[in-house]
């Protein structure tokens, strides 16, 4: 049996989850990355507290606290003190083009709204929408390359970094471009009268920056690509 004490800031969606992956320090006498063990912890265990944190953007994240939380050894994922390797694999899978799907949904909503408003014949509108569509197609191809690597038994570390980097920054560009295109009304949120694309432009602009941070910032993704794909010296 294991007893877990500690806290974690920014446990997003913990209020909806049934389990949480928890990386715990289990050996203080070895190198920091070697003394970690991964657990899959049920969030209904006694001693777990989830406190909501409201962000400036109106979204919720959480702080989670663990006070004498007991789990059996069956909750352990991988070897004792081998959690860093488990985390490395998990991060590789996390670096998927998730932002791509948000950009695809954004484009669908924008096209539908612009068509209903009779704006698709405007060259400026067509150009901006076409630019987003081109980036979305590149994101799809990068996502397929990652899927092919995983299907081939690889982790797809480089492919995942390429897909994550491109799609998150493409979503950021698309949101800024469409916000500029639709003007002041584009900052109206979902449910407000006159909000373009049902508030999708405003939400994407507010959320896009986050996608360039989670699962490793854009700078980290560039370093991974440079070192592992191009053989360049370490940048950090």
The predicted structure's pLDDT at residue 32:
80
The reply to whether 99 and 82 lie within a common domain is no
The predicted structure's pLDDT at residue 185:
86
The reply to whether 82 and 163 lie within a common domain is no
The reply to whether 152 and 101 lie within a common domain is yes
Question: Residue 161: which of 102, 95, 103 has the closest Cα?
Answer: 95
Average pLDDT over residues 58-80: 95
Residue 234 counted as domain residue = no
The reply to whether 172 and 154 lie within a common domain is yes
The predicted structure's pLDDT at residue 75:
97
Spatial distance between the Cα atoms of 105 and 10, rounded to a whole number of angstroms: 26
The reply to whether 124 and 217 lie within a common domain is yes
Largest CA distance in the chain: 67
Contacts 24+ apart (CB under 8 A), 68-72: 68/3, 68/4, 68/5, 69/3, 69/4, 69/5, 69/41, 69/45, 70/1, 70/2, 70/3, 70/4, 70/45, 70/46, 71/1, 71/2, 71/4, 71/39, 71/41, 71/42, 71/45, 72/1, 72/2
* Active-site residue identified among 16, 94, 102, 198: 94
The reply to whether 80 and 190 lie within a common domain is no
**pLDDT of 93 higher than 90:** no
Last-in-domain residue among 88, 109, 135: 88
Residue 6 sits in a domain whose CATH number is: 2.40.110.10
CB-based burial, 151-161: b 16+ in 10 Å, e otherwise:
eeeebbbbbbb
Mean pLDDT computed over every residue of the chain: 91
Spatial distance between the Cα atoms of 40 and 76, rounded to a whole number of angstroms: 6
The predicted structure's pLDDT at residue 57:
72
pLDDT digits (tens, 9 = 90+) for 29-66: 988 888 999 999 999 999 999 999 998 777 899 999 99
The reply to whether 206 and 100 lie within a common domain is yes
The predicted structure's pLDDT at residue 6:
97
**pLDDT of 236 higher than 70:** no
Q: Domain total for the chain?
A: 2
94 is catalytic: yes
Q: Which domain holds residue 40?
A: 2-88
């Amino acid at each position: 049996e294991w007893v877990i004490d500690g806290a974690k800031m920014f446990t997003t969606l913990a209020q909806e989850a049934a389990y949480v992956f928890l990386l715990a320090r289990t050996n203080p006498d070895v190198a920091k990355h070697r003394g970690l063990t991964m657990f899959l912890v049920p969030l209904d265990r006694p001693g777990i507290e989830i406190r909501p944190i409201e962000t400036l953007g109106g979204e919720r994240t959480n702080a989670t606290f663990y006070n004498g939380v007991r789990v059996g050894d069956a909750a352990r994922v991988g070897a004792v003190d081998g959690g860093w390797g488990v985390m490395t694999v998990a991060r590789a899978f996390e670096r998927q083009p998730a932002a791509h799907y948000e950009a695809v949904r954004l484009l669908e909503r924008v096209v539908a709204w612009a068509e209903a408003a009779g704006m698709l014949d405007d060259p400026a509108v067509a150009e901006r929408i076409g630019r987003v569509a081109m980036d979305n197609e590149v994101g799809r191809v990068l996502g397929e390359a990652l899927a092919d690597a995983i299907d081939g038994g690889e982790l797809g570390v480089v492919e995942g970094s390429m897909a994550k980097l491109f799609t998150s920054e493409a979503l950021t560009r698309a949101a800024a471009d469409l916000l500029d295109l639709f003007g002041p009304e584009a900052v109206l949120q979902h449910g407000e009268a006159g909000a373009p694309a049902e508030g999708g432009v405003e939400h994407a602009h507010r959320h896009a920056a986050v996608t360039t941070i989670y699962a490793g910032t854009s700078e980290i993704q560039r370093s991974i690509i440079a070192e592992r794909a191009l053989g360049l010296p370490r940048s950090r």
